[in-house]
């Protein structure tokens, strides 16, 4: 009998368990682990998706270390969405245009690939819940000019809107979007918010106003035509005061939860090799 210690297995002999997660600061509120956990269980995939609390000062170090521990990628959320662009090796055109990434893929060659799937999630949600929506016919009106609004603007332009009206409480941020996204953008003053709705076929709240515990978004809706597609990126509560009033005026309303579900699907597919279904069960998993 030998008393030599057993040799550790070679790296090749160790089966890796795919890991993914969401990086934020703070992160406890995130519903992403519930969603990805639901999909992993549903497809019988032996992997895990975990919340990762990462301070801004540690972001670069954590991103270089995670692949060594079996992570195949991560989602990133506030406050890291912009900072990751400088840390990634490959940035997609749309993430560069939006100026933020929410999905990172750790490639086998060690390179970090950054993408932004918020705009995809936004459009996929509307196509799923308002199949008769035709964005290319009438102008769209976007309220807000933060990171989420930039993704919405990029996707609406891609969807072919003839004109994109935008207003933001801090006007300069809307002007900046016009400077970057071009001729289709028309900036409205915050005091003229109600006028933006005149003749619009699509209206989007991309501000955080209306979130639980925060003041509602207040705007005169007299100019809103029945049948207009109205959506809110805020999904807590699911029916915001803004959506409630739009529905009372005959608008077709779509809540923001579906965007959260759809934006998650491309990352899950890249990391775990299965395109997940965005259905009632996924919605219920996030709401549970």
List the interface residues with ligand NAP, window 230-259 (CB under 6 A): 233-235, 256, 259
Tokens of 240: 């915001």
**Least Å from the CB of residue 45 to ligand NAP:** 23
If you count them, how many residues does the chain have?
A: 288
Q: Which stretch binds ligand NAP (CB under 6 A): 52-60, 227-235, 265-273, 279-287?
A: 227-235
The one catalytic residue in 31, 36, 38, 81 is 81
8 A C-beta contact, residue 263 and residue 30: no
Beta strands 140-143 and 202-205: pairing type? parallel
8 A C-beta contact, residue 67 and residue 106: yes
Question: Of 193, 260, 278, 285, which one interacts with ligand NAP (CB under 6 A)?
Answer: 260
Residue 169 to residue 39: CA distance in whole angstroms: 38
178 is catalytic: no
Phi, psi of 165 (to 5 degrees): -90, 140
Residue nearest to ligand NAP (CB): 146
DSSP letter assigned to residue 210: T
List the interface residues with ligand NAP, window 111-130 (CB under 6 A): 118, 121
The residue among 138, 89, 139, 95 whose CA lies nearest residue 109 is: 89
List the interface residues with ligand NAP, window 35-94 (CB under 6 A): none
List the interface residues with ligand NAP, window 148-207 (CB under 6 A): 148-149, 168-170, 173, 206-207
Residues contributing to the site for ligand NAP (CB under 6 A): 118, 121, 144-149, 168-170, 173, 206-209, 211, 215, 233-235, 256, 259-260, 263
Point out the residues that are catalytic: 81
């Amino acid at each position: 009998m030998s008393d030599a210690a057993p040799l550790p297995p070679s790296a090749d002999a160790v089966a890796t368990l795919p890991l993914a997660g969401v990086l934020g600061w703070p992160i406890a509120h995130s519903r992403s682990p519930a969603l990805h956990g639901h999909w992993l269980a549903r497809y019988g995939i032996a992997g895990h998706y975990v919340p990762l609390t990462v301070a801004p000062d540690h972001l670069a170090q954590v991103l270089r270390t995670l692949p060594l521990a079996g992570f195949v990628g991560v989602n990133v959320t506030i406050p890291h969405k912009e900072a990751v662009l400088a840390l990634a090796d490959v940035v997609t055109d749309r993430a560069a245009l939006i100026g933020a990434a929410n999905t990172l893929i750790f490639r086998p060659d060690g390179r970090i690939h950054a993408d932004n799937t918020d705009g995809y999630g936004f459009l996929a949600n509307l196509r799923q819940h308002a199949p008769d929506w035709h964005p290319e016919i009438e102008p769209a009106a976007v309220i807000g000019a933060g990171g989420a609004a930039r993704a919405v603007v990029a996707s609406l332009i891609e969807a072919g809107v003839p004109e994109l009206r935008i207003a933001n409480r801090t006007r300069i941020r809307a002007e900046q979007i016009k400077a970057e996204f071009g001729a289709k953008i028309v900036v409205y003053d915050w005091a003229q918010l109600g006028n933006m709705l005149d003749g619009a076929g699509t209206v989007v709240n991309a501000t955080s106003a209306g979130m639980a515990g925060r003041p509602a978004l207040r705007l005169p809706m007299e100019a809103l035509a029945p049948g207009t597609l109205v959506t809110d990126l805020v999904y807590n509560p699911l029916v915001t005061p803004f959506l409630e009033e739009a529905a009372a005026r005959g608008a077709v309303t779509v809540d923001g939860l579906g965007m959260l579900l759809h934006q998650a699907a491309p990352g899950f597919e890249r990391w775990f090799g299965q395109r997940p279904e965005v259905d009632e069960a996924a919605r219920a998993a996030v709401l549970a």
